Structure 1
Amino acid sequence: MSEPSTPARTAVVLGGSHAGMLAARALAGLADRVVVVERDVLPDGPAPRKGLPQARHAHMLWSGGVRAVEELLPGVTEALLAAGARRAPVTTDMVVMGARGWFRRWPESHHVILAGRDLLDATIRAQVLADDRIELLSGVEVLGLTGDAGAVTGVRVRARGGPAPTAAAAPGADAGSGAVGGAVGDSRSAASSTAGPAPDSGSAPDSGSATGAGPTPGAGAEWVVPGGLVVDATGRGSRVGRWLTELGLPEVERREVDSGLAYASRLYRAPEQARSGYPIVNVQPDPRAGGPGRAGFLLPIEDGHWIATLNGTRGGEPSTENDDFVRFAREELRHPVIGELLEQAEPVSDVAYTRATVNRRHFYERMPAWPENLTVVGDALAAYNPLYGHGLAVAAQSAVILRDVVRRRGWGSAGLSRRVQKAVARPVSTAWDLAVGQDVFCPGATEDGPSLRDRLVAAYVGRLMLTATGNGRIARRVTDVTSLERGPEVLLAPSVLLAAALGPWKPALTGPPLTGDELKRAGLE
C-alpha cells in the first residue's frame, strides 16, 4: 500500500485552463499529489465555457511554446494534429503585410500550431488529466489564501454547485492526513471522456486516508484545501494581489499599457478547395500613417474553418454587427485581401467582441518580501495584447521553468517560491517588451507616452522589419524572437546591425504573395 500524501507535499493549482493544466503537469512527480481547482465545470471535449470568453477569438501557439508543451507532454503535437489542428511553417505559410510592406514567404525556420482554443485546451487537458497524480476539483471557486505573510498554507474555496467533491475533499476532513482537497471523485468526470479512466477516488478511503470526513458539500459550502505549494493560474481576473495584502504584504508594483484595442472575431467555413493547406493571412497597421491602427488575421484551423479576427485601436474599432464584418476587412484595413477571402467563405458564427486587450504586468518578482509556497504564472502574472499571440507560449515556458527550479532546488526548500517567481519573469519580460514596445505608441496607451528609449528601439525595429521584407536571414532573426525561441539580444548581433543599415536586398512586393493555386482554391481567380 502506498503512503498517503501530506498537505506539505500537495500542490494546489488555481485555474484549469492552459496555464493551470501545464503547471499541474510540471509539478506531477515533484509533488505527491496535484489538485487543480477550477471555477467552471469543464466540458468533456472541445466546447465553450463561461470562464474562457477569449476562446471565440484567434489563437496560435508559437514554436517556442510548442517545444515547451511537448517537453511537458511528449506526443501532444501529434495528438493536436490528429484532432484537426494545423502545423504551419513560418514564414512559408504566412502571407503577411507588415508596417513596412509584404514579407516574402521564406523557407521554414519556425512554426505555429493553429487550432480553436477549445480544441487546444481540451487536447492538453485530456493528456494532463490522464496522469492519475493530477486531480481536478471543478465547479469550485477560490476565496483567498490561508497562511500569513511568511508562508501560504493553502486556499479557502467554495462550491458553486457543479459536481461535488468527495468526502475526502469536504469540510471536516482530517487535514493532517493530507486527504483534504486531494480527492475529487465525480468532479473529475468533467474531463473523463478525454482524460481516460479516472481512479475511483469516490470509494471509501483506505486505512491510510482520512476518516471521519464531514458530509459532501453542496453549493455554497466553504472549506480549506491545504497545500505545500499554491500556483495561481487564474488569468486576467486573478485576485492574488489583493489576497497578499490581506496577509499583510505590500501592494505589488503594476504597469498597464492600454492601446484601446477592440477585437472582433467570426468563424467561417472556407471554400471547399481551401479547407486544407491554406496559409495564414495577416494585414498589420503602419504606425507612421497616424490615426487609429487597424489589423486583421485569417487563420485556417480545424474542420475546414477559418477564424477571422479584426481589430482596431481607439477611433478605429471594428463593429459588433455581423453585416459590417466583411466590409471592415475589405475597406478599413491597409489591404482588402482578408475581406476578399471572406466574401468567398460562409459565416458559421456571429461576431464575438472584446475589449479585454490591455497589457498588464504585476512585478511580483520585485516585491520586498514574498511568502513561501506561492507562485503566480500565466495571465495572472502578465497579460498581453492578444494581437501578438504570445500568452500561450509564455505560459508553457513558465511551466517548464517552474518544474526545473523546483526539481533543482528541492520541494519545500527555503526561498523556493521566490526563486521560481524571479525565474518565470524571464520569458514574461521578452513577451512584455515585444508587446508594449509597439502599443506604447498608441494614443492614450500610457500617461506619459513613449520615452526616448521607446522611440529609439522602435526606429531600429522598424528598420529591421523593412530589411526583413527582402532579406531571409534577417526575417529568420526576427522570427527567432517573435516565436519566443530566442531572446531579443540576437537582434543586436553585429551582422544583424549591419544588415539593418544596408536594408533589404530584394525589391518590395507589390501585393500579397498568394500563389495562383491559392487564389484559385479560394475563389479569387
Structure 2
Amino acid sequence: MTESFPPNPAPPFPPNPARSSPPRHAVVIGGSMAGLLAAAVLAEHAAVTIIDADTLPELPEPRRGLPQARHVHVMWSGGARAIEDILPGIMEDWTEAGAIRRSLPTDLVTKTAQGWIPRYGEKQFNISCSRDLLDSVVRARVIALEGVTTLQRSRVRSLEGSAARITGVRVDTPEEEGRLVTADLVVDASGRGSRARSWLQALGVHGIRQAEVDSGLVYATRIFEAPAGAHEMGFPIVNVQSDPRVPVPGQTATIVPIENGQWQATLSGTRGGQPTADPDEFIPFAKGIRDPIVGELLEGKKPLTDVAVTQGTANRRIFFEKADLPDGFFAVGDSVATFNPLYGQGMTVAAQGLLAVRALLRSKGGLAHPSVGMEAQRALAPQVATAWELATSQDILYPGATGMKPRAGAGLLNSYVSRLMTGATTREELTAAFLEVITMTSPPTYWVRPSVVWQVLRASDRGELKAPPLTAAERTVAGLDQEADPVEAR
C-alpha cells in the first residue's frame, strides 16, 4: 500500500494477531535498499512508514537521492541469500525482471592483485543488473507488505524526543512543514548524507565517534550496447583490479553485462590517478591500467550514455553501537558505514545485519522490548566491522590515502592473504576459499581454517594464467583479435 500522506500518528492496517498489542508504529528514514529491507523486517511487528525525499518510481528508473546507482552494482551471493531470507522469492523476481545470475568464477574474468582467476565450476554467484532494477524489484515487494506505507517528497528535519527516548520525527512535506510523525521506533537508513549524528547531538547525545579512510577514489561509468550475440551466450563479467602493494594510484576497470543487452562499464582511480568525465578519455583510461582487456572490449562499441562521475567515496564509519543511544532508535546501511564501492559490500552488510535484527526482534517479542534500538544497533555491528576491516586495510595502502592506520599485526595478516590470493590463481580449493569470503558468505576467519591454511602453505603461482581467460567464442563475439591466443576457460 502506498500513500503520499499517511495519518498521524500511524497509518491504519488490518488487525494482525502476530503483531504486538497495542499496535506499534515504526518510521524508516530512507527508501533505498537498506531502508526497504528494514521496513520488511519491522513489518512483522508494526505498521511501518518509509519517509523519502524523492518520489519513489514504480519502474527501474534513476532517482536524485541515489546518484551512485549510475555505477556498477553486483549483489554478492552472501547478500542475495540474506535478502532471499527476508523476502522469499526475490532472486526469481530479479531474474524475471531482467537480472542475470552469474556463477562464480565460471562467469567471471578477473585479474586480482596476484593474477587471473581460473574459471572453475561454480563456488558462489552474484546477481548482475543495474542498481535501479535491483531496488525497484525489492521496493515493489516491500511496499506491497501489509501495514507498510510511504511518505514521499518529504524530508526529515529532526528526531523528536530526548537523550533517553526517541518518540518520532519532525518532517517537512509538500503540504506541511514540521509535521510530527510519532513512532515507537525510528530507523535511520538515509545513507551517506545521514544527519543522524547531528540530530542526536541536538538532543544531548554526545560521544558518537567517527572514523574515516579516504583513498581519494573517483568512479566513472558509461553504458554501452553489447555486441550482437553477447547476451545470448552469457558473456562474462570482466574486471581488472589494482594492486595496493605497488605504491602507485590504484586503478580498476570493469564491464558487467546487465539487462536489456547492455554493458555497464565502470572505471575507478585513487588519488593521483582518477578517471574524468571526458568521453574521449574513457577507453584510453581502461586500456592504460594493469591489463588493457576492458578497454579493448569497449573499443568500437556504441555508447548509450554520457560518462557519469562520482567523487566522495571515502570509507566512513560511525560507531553508534559504542555510544549511549536513546531507546527507540537505530541506524543501518550507509548511515552507519560507507565503504569503497569497489568491494561491493554495502547492500550485503545491510541485509545480513538486518537478518540479525530480525532474529533479535523475534526473540524479544518485537518493539515492546526495552532498549530494542540499542540492542539492534549492536546486532548490526559485527557485519559492519568485518567489511570495514576488509576495505580499509587495502585502501589505506594507496598513495595519499588518509585516515586511521592499520592495526598492529596487519602486515603479517596481509602477507598471509596475499599468499592465499596467489594460490587462488592456480588452486581450485583456494579460489573457492577466496570467493567464500569476498562474496560475504563466510567471515574472514574462514581463511584461517586448518584446511585452508594447509592449502595456503602449498600455494604458488606455478601454472598461473598469462592472459585473460576468455574463450575463443567470447573473443569472437566481442570482436577481439584472434591472433592473441585466447585462453580457454577451465
| TM-score (normalised: structure 1) | 0.86
- 8 Å contact 2:216–2:312 — kept in the other structure? no
* 3-state SS, counterpart of residue 79 of structure 2: helix
2:450 to 494, 503, 506: 494
- 8 Å contact 2:314–2:338 — kept in the other structure? yes
* 3-state SS, counterpart of residue 521 of structure 1: helix
Q: Which residue of 2 is the match for residue 212 of structure 1?
A: none
- 1:132 shift after superposition: 3.0
**Which whole-Å CA distance do the structure 1 matches of 2:228 and 2:345 have between them?**
31
**Which whole-Å CA distance do the structure 2 matches of 1:301 and 1:384 have between them?**
23
Q: Which residue of 2 is the match for residue 297 of structure 1?
A: 254
Q: Which residue of 1 is the match for residue 316 of structure 2?
A: 360
- 8 Å contact 1:441–1:449 — kept in the other structure? no
Q: Which moved more, 1:343-352 or 1:490-499?
A: 490-499
**Which whole-Å CA distance do the structure 2 matches of 1:450 and 1:130 have between them?**
45
1:87 to 101, 104, 111: 101
Letter in 1 for 2:257: P
- 1:448 shift after superposition: 6.1
- 1:2 shift after superposition: 5.2
Do structure 1's residue 518 and structure 2's residue 474 form an aligned pair? Answer: yes
- 8 Å contact 1:94–1:279 — kept in the other structure? yes
Q: Which residue of 1 is the match for residue 348 of structure 2?
A: 393
Which runs of 5 or more structure 1 residues have no equivalent in the other structure? Answer: 162-217
* 3-state SS, counterpart of residue 245 of structure 2: helix
Q: For each residue in 1:127-174, what CA deviation from the matched residue of structure 2 results, as whole angstroms up to 9, or x when unmatched?
A: 111113110110110011011111100000001x3xxxxxxxxxxxxx
Q: For each residue in 1:46-78, what CA deviation from the matched residue of structure 2 results, as whole angstroms up to 9, or x when unmatched?
A: 111111100110001101110111111111111
* 3-state SS, counterpart of residue 235 of structure 1: coil
1:154 to 168, 172, 175: 168
1:101 to 89, 103, 115: 115
Do structure 1's residue 477 and structure 2's residue 426 form an aligned pair? Answer: no
**Which whole-Å CA distance do the structure 1 matches of 2:80 and 2:322 have between them?**
29
- 1:449 shift after superposition: 4.2
2:36 to 2, 17, 21: 21
Q: Which residue of 1 is the match for residue 241 of structure 2?
A: 284
1:260 to 182, 206, 216: 216
> CA 1:7 to 1:156, structure 2 compared with 1: closer, same or farther past 3 Å?
farther
Mapping for residues 431-470 of structure 1, pairs under 5 Å: 431-447=387-403, 449-470=405-426
2:335 to 358, 364, 380: 380
Letter in 2 for 1:295: T
* 3-state SS, counterpart of residue 484 of structure 1: coil
Q: Which residue of 2 is the match for residue 203 of structure 1?
A: none
Q: For each residue in 1:98-152, what CA deviation from the matched residue of structure 2 results, as whole angstroms up to 9, or x when unmatched?
A: 1111110111011000110111111110111111311011011001101111110
Letter in 2 for 1:374: F
Q: Which residue of 2 is the match for residue 178 of structure 1?
A: none
Mapping for residues 212-227 of structure 1, pairs under 5 Å: 218=175, 221-227=177-183
- 8 Å contact 1:22–1:72 — kept in the other structure? yes
**Which whole-Å CA distance do the structure 1 matches of 2:245 and 2:187 have between them?**
42
Residue identity (%): 44
1:509 to 452, 465, 474: 465
1:407 to 349, 352, 362: 362
**Which whole-Å CA distance do the structure 1 matches of 2:403 and 2:299 have between them?**
41
Q: How many residues align?
A: 464
- 1:453 shift after superposition: 2.2
Q: Which moved more, 1:279-288 or 1:445-454?
A: 445-454
- 8 Å contact 1:271–1:344 — kept in the other structure? no
* 3-state SS, counterpart of residue 51 of structure 2: strand
Q: For each residue in 1:176-197, what CA deviation from the matched residue of structure 2 results, as whole angstroms up to 9, or x when unmatched?
A: xxxxxxxxxxxxxxxxxxxxxx
- 8 Å contact 1:471–1:505 — kept in the other structure? no
